[in-house]
Structure 1
């Protein structure tokens, strides 16, 4: 066994090893939770054509099924942050996982368009409290300098879900019908609930302990009045407009316009999803190395998106659509962690729940708006026009990247001197 480094006591070494173990275990468990989260919401995109045929729905109505989820998801972001700050992030994470698994299973019993809207709304509400609670779980167990990298690995699960979901769901869809897909993914959610319940470690010494009930949680008005958070939320809106516009409608586009049946799409959807997963991890590492400075990543990334999206939309060949579409998804995904990096570094654990909820809220508004809007444009004009329209999201994200603070000190200064987390009263924990 090697000796501890000079000037390092065995106790300090043990604490360091324990801290790394806590981070690794937390990342693995949150990765699993987010993987199920995204799988549960992505399966609707694969089964939309079948649902549309069974209930005789046009594209606008199909888009509303997706939007019902995002409406509830968006509305519950800030309440989810309040619950996490008030009752503890671990507890709220478990509640959310269990509740959304239940509503996923119930979706498989839907008997009408109205029932689908209601169940997807309830599902969105259950999932909506999860992101800020998850973010708080991670922040409580990591140091600021490693948060973007750790969260980048966690959030790469979203893109991995984009790879695995078609591979698992399409055979179930073909063999047993669209309802079986929801029953199967709900069962996976229950396994993740048990895993987090048993194995999520407590925050290591030196971090804020998770309270049973916080005596003085942040006041909602103290968080919602910070305009700088809403600028980051607008940046997330731009990014998510691109992602959810493509995620929702590409399977339908490939089937209706390119003549590819849903059952053959798994390999074609895996390539952009793999690109998104790698870009999310890379974006997290870049954010930690740059200590924020997100415009250095987001502006060039969105410039590439603005070029490649129209090229994909108007490509005459299927190969061209896949290549340019994959480049667009990779570039957009590079921006995800840089959007979150500065708020995650600058907000203390007691404010992460509601603070991150405000930023994430912007993305969910995009998820609520983009699917039906793209469906309406596709019906009125063409899918080419609908996908080209998504360039607007790249413009919004790039503009907000230039109009937001680039590091911890400038972020806290932007909150104002009256803020309890102004740099004069709060220092970044190391």
Structure 2
């Protein structure tokens, strides 16, 4: 169910990139303004990450996931009724706020339903939904836009979101009370009830978490990775159609190639992270270094084939580090702090979504798309630097994270989780 929810979450986000040329022409928008429409989503999406984690820790992951699905489906549909640049900004901002509470709630739901030894492999499978959505969305939506116009893309994905809400409401499994061997699962007391369902209580507890510097270093690592992801996904459709003269349907097929590579790399990276037990530096430093080199080759490639091949290799190399990035925090955080802690990390990625699209749009207008794509190398450099400056295993993380890594069931009551009361 989490895989399907993430699939729709990501598809709803990607639709805007496919319709940028269409509504840009309809409303007379330059590339910089088009980038601002994309950034309006990421601004609210980023701002709602940490509140979303607090809500998940306070009210339960399942409840917050359902709220988010309904709300973002509503604003996706309303985007299809936008009548001006200002209306697009407002709708995308509201849509971002609704989607922003979902990732930390999803992360918490995953932690509650898996044992630590299998967690990153499971998360890798779930997060591969992003890459699969990047494959499916252009192939499905591009013909729809060609026949019915850009607004139809938002109406169709909104309807899909409502259907997934019903599915999650009915079929999301309950949290695991015990590990597979019959012993209490990590973070659960001996009677099997979830501990610390309300791990972060009040603003004081939230402030304490936000002061933990190591989380922000992981957030900067996520920022670097997502500069690449959101820079490419935002501007590749426009580049292929406007600069290379590729029809939108064919551009969708070309975009599916690196997305397939990202899906494979995400799953593989999750398995590597489980096997290494952390030690993300061993994956991220070489992976992002290679990704940076391929991004430069992609940016300066004169042929469409070279652009596609180098772009695919860059995405594959960078995506190998996506799951290892989360391995140490998810193993080191106490269960009651997973929602907010993971939200801090994801927040870094969404700041990248605010920065990369408009910066690349203005670079494309002022200089060229070549300069815009070369900008992505900075993201790889940031990720490498932060990988070198972060703890490499759960014990080292707990040593610097303080109370965030302490077993939260020491002080928590053993009352039934609110997760199943929603």
Both structures adopt the same fold (TM-score exceeding 0.5)? yes
Q: Which residue of 2 aligns with 1:363?
A: 349
Deviation at 1:353, TM superposition (A): 0.4
- Greater shift in the superposed pair: 334-343 or 203-212: 203-212
Deviation at 1:328, TM superposition (A): 0.4
Structure 1 CA distance, aligned partners of 2:52 and 2:249?
A: 36
Change (3 A) 1:260 1:296: same
Query: Once the two structures are superposed, what CA deviation does each residue of 1:362-408 show, in whole Å capped at 9, x if it has no partner?
Result: 00000001000000111111111111111010010001001000000
Q: Which residue of 2 aligns with 1:11?
A: none
1:378-393 correspondence to structure 2 within 5 Å: 378-393=364-379
Q: Which residue of 2 aligns with 1:203?
A: 175
Query: Once the two structures are superposed, what CA deviation does each residue of 1:42-81 show, in whole Å capped at 9, x if it has no partner?
Result: 0000000001000000000000000000000000000000
Contact 1:217-1:350 within 8 A present in 2 as well: no
Q: Which residue of 2 aligns with 1:163?
A: 135
Secondary structure class of the residue paired with 1:273:
helix
Of residues 20, 24, 35 in structure 1, which corresponds to 2:7? 35
Contact 1:145-1:345 within 8 A present in 2 as well: no
Say whether 1:241 aligns with 2:213: no
Say whether 1:328 aligns with 2:300: no
Contact 2:46-2:347 within 8 A present in 1 as well: yes
Q: What is the Cα-based RMSD across aligned positions, in Å?
A: 1.7
Q: Which residue of 2 aligns with 1:16?
A: none
Q: Which residue of 2 aligns with 1:277?
A: 263
Contact 2:77-2:154 within 8 A present in 1 as well: yes
Change (3 A) 1:423 1:400: farther
Contact 1:170-1:266 within 8 A present in 2 as well: yes
Change (3 A) 1:217 1:113: same
Contact 1:413-1:422 within 8 A present in 2 as well: no
Secondary structure class of the residue paired with 2:405:
coil
1:370-409 correspondence to structure 2 within 5 Å: 370-409=356-395
Deviation at 1:259, TM superposition (A): 1.0
Q: Which residue of 1 aligns with 2:201?
A: 217
Structure 2 CA distance, aligned partners of 1:302 and 1:423?
A: 33
Deviation at 1:211, TM superposition (A): 8.5
Deviation at 1:210, TM superposition (A): 5.8
Structure 2 CA distance, aligned partners of 1:326 and 1:282?
A: 16
Say whether 1:342 aligns with 2:314: no
Q: Which residue of 1 aligns with 2:39?
A: 67
Q: Which residue of 2 aligns with 1:93?
A: 65
Of residues 63, 71, 80 in structure 2, which corresponds to 1:108? 80
Structure 1 CA distance, aligned partners of 2:84 and 2:157?
A: 21
Contact 1:148-1:284 within 8 A present in 2 as well: yes
Change (3 A) 1:183 1:286: same
Contact 1:309-1:328 within 8 A present in 2 as well: yes
Say whether 1:150 aligns with 2:134: no
Deviation at 1:425, TM superposition (A): 10
Change (3 A) 1:151 1:189: same
Contact 1:312-1:321 within 8 A present in 2 as well: yes
Query: Once the two structures are superposed, what CA deviation does each residue of 1:273-296 show, in whole Å capped at 9, x if it has no partner?
Result: 000000000110000000000000
Query: Once the two structures are superposed, what CA deviation does each residue of 1:173-208 show, in whole Å capped at 9, x if it has no partner?
Result: 001000000000001111111111111111122344
Change (3 A) 1:48 1:314: same
Q: Which residue of 2 aligns with 1:177?
A: 149
Query: Once the two structures are superposed, what CA deviation does each residue of 1:305-355 show, in whole Å capped at 9, x if it has no partner?
Result: 111111111111111001000000111111111111111111122100000
Secondary structure class of the residue paired with 1:265:
helix
Q: Which residue of 2 aligns with 1:3?
A: none
Q: Which residue of 1 aligns with 2:291?
A: 305
Contact 2:73-2:159 within 8 A present in 1 as well: yes
Secondary structure class of the residue paired with 1:57:
coil
Structure 2 CA distance, aligned partners of 1:370 and 1:265?
A: 21
Q: Which residue of 1 aligns with 2:405?
A: 421
Of residues 218, 226, 248 in structure 2, which corresponds to 1:262? 248
Deviation at 1:424, TM superposition (A): 12
Contact 2:196-2:408 within 8 A present in 1 as well: no
Counting matched residue pairs gives 396
Question: Which runs of no fewer than 5 residues in structure 1 stay unpaired?
Answer: 1-28
Structure 2 CA distance, aligned partners of 1:100 and 1:425?
A: 34
Structure 2 CA distance, aligned partners of 1:204 and 1:213?
A: 13
Secondary structure class of the residue paired with 1:260:
coil
